[in-house]
Amino acid sequence: MVFSQPSGKNKTSPFGTSDDRKSPVPTFRLKPKDAPPPSMPTADDLLESARVVSLPMRTMFRGITVREALLFKGPAGWGEFAPFPEYDDAESRLWLAAGIEAAYLGAPQPLRDAVDVNATVPAVPADEVAAIIGRYPGAKTVKVKVAEPGQTLADDVDRVAAARDVVPNVRIDANGAWTVDQAIAAIAAIGDVEYVEQPCRTVEELAQVRRSVDALIAADESIRRSTDPMRVAKAEAADIAVLKVAPLGGMRSLLNLAARLPMDVVVSSALDTAIGMSAGVAAAAALPNLHRACGLGTGAMFTRDAGMSFRMHDGAVEPRSVVPSDDAPLASAARRLWWEERLRRCHALLVNR
């Protein structure tokens, strides 16, 4: 079994998701001069070197306080398999494809030796914002979470103002939580921002907000969990696309999509450990056009990372490979088994499609 080439006749997206089970898995589109694709590793190959880490987080994020990831080694380095626990196998198989690409094919050719990254401020009280930004040395851009359930618009306004006091260039992320009317009102109240990420859930709502406000709109979930990432472009629903390596099935899939999208791209992590982060930084370093800070500084959200964290210097990180630390905190035996079984199911979906 080798990594297959796309059919070319298939008009559907190469980035399959849970409701698109027959879509092709993103493939490693090698140029003819490159080495032939490596053989597809078996699940046993992957599990032979596997370790499941469990990383404590400084602040609750996405409702979790511990980030688990299964790491495995291949001839090109280490790969990460860490779909969020609620993701189904069909969606999670793309994350496995990305881990296999990293471990068996390695990073694409870099075009730059440093990538600007943003600081990330979770939905904390305004008086905690400055200390959090302080963990990102030299950050020139801050991303602030807004529209957190249970909080008010006043909380968002205060939090963004506190961030702006430290770093003027602020982008906000609502994770799809606003209605169109709420988004328009919130954007007016919050004021000047670099862009508003995923103000509402659907592509149609994004397009409606974008037509109603001057602020730039970025699409994240609308691309990451969509059967057709190009729909955002066709609907003129966003000015910026937030792309993540693992949900798109790998670094090369991300680069292929970026080349097709007629808009600025920001590469972001999916709360990756340092192993997955190295693939994100590599993809960002290989993008021909990159004009904005990437969301690849989230290693600062772990109290301990799986390997040497990507620490910002002068607001940027540098591409490099990462190996797991021997003392990285490991998951319990029960959780390890859960991840191993999940990997086997996702692997079966990758090879038996």
The binding site for Mg(2+) comprises 173, 197, 220
CA triplet 142, 148, 152: central angle to 5 degrees?
100
Stretch of 10-18, 58-66, 212-220, 338-346 lying at the interface with Mg ion (CB under 5 A): 212-220
CB-nearer residue toward Mg ion: 251 or 266: 266
Query: Under a CB-based contact definition with an 8 Å cutoff, are residues 110 and 278 in contact?
Result: no
Please give the Cα distance from 157 to 123 (Å, whole number). 11
- The tally of CA atoms less than 13 A away on the side-chain side of residue 307 is 23
CB-nearer residue toward Mg ion: 101 or 173: 173
Which residue in 9, 31, 145, 234 is the catalytic one?
A: 145
CB-nearer residue toward Mg ion: 51 or 244: 244
CB-nearer residue toward Mg ion: 101 or 220: 220
x/- binding map, residues 118-157, to Mg ion, per CB under 5 A?
A: ----------------------------------------
Please give the Cα distance from 280 to 286 (Å, whole number). 10
Active site residue 145: yes
Angle at which helices 274-286 and 251-260 cross, to 10°: 40
Torsion from C-alpha of 38, 44, 47, 48, nearest 10 degrees: -90
Q: CB of residue 174 vs Mg ion: minimum separation in angstroms?
A: 9
Q: CB of residue 172 vs Mg ion: minimum separation in angstroms?
A: 10
Q: What are the helix and strand counts (H, E) for the chain?
A: 12, 12
DSSP string, 1-42: -BPPPP-SS--S-SS--TT-TTSPPP-----TTSPPPPBPPP
Query: Which one of 156, 205, 220, 305 is in contact with Mg ion (CB under 5 A)?
Result: 220
Stretch of 54-62, 79-87, 119-127, 165-173 lying at the interface with Mg ion (CB under 5 A): 165-173
Please give the Cα distance from 50 to 149 (Å, whole number). 36
Q: CB of residue 46 vs Mg ion: minimum separation in angstroms?
A: 29
How many chain residues bind Mg ion (CB under 5 A)?
A: 3
Please give the Cα distance from 24 to 349 (Å, whole number). 11
Per CB under 5 A, 173 contacts Mg ion: yes
CB-nearer residue toward Mg ion: 116 or 173: 173
Residue whose CB is nearest to Mg ion in the complex, by number: 220
Query: Under a CB-based contact definition with an 8 Å cutoff, are residues 118 and 141 in contact?
Result: yes
Stretch of 1-9, 25-33, 158-166, 195-203 lying at the interface with Mg ion (CB under 5 A): 195-203
316's CB contacts (< 8 A; 6+ apart) are: 114, 115, 116, 117, 138
76: its two tokens = 């090109």
Stretch of 16-24, 82-90, 138-146, 194-202 lying at the interface with Mg ion (CB under 5 A): 194-202
CB-nearer residue toward Mg ion: 107 or 290: 290
Q: CB of residue 352 vs Mg ion: minimum separation in angstroms?
A: 32
Per CB under 5 A, 194 contacts Mg ion: no
Which residue in 9, 22, 31, 244 is the catalytic one?
A: 244
Enumerate binding residues for Mg ion (CB under 5 A). Answer: 173, 197, 220
Catalytic positions: 145, 244
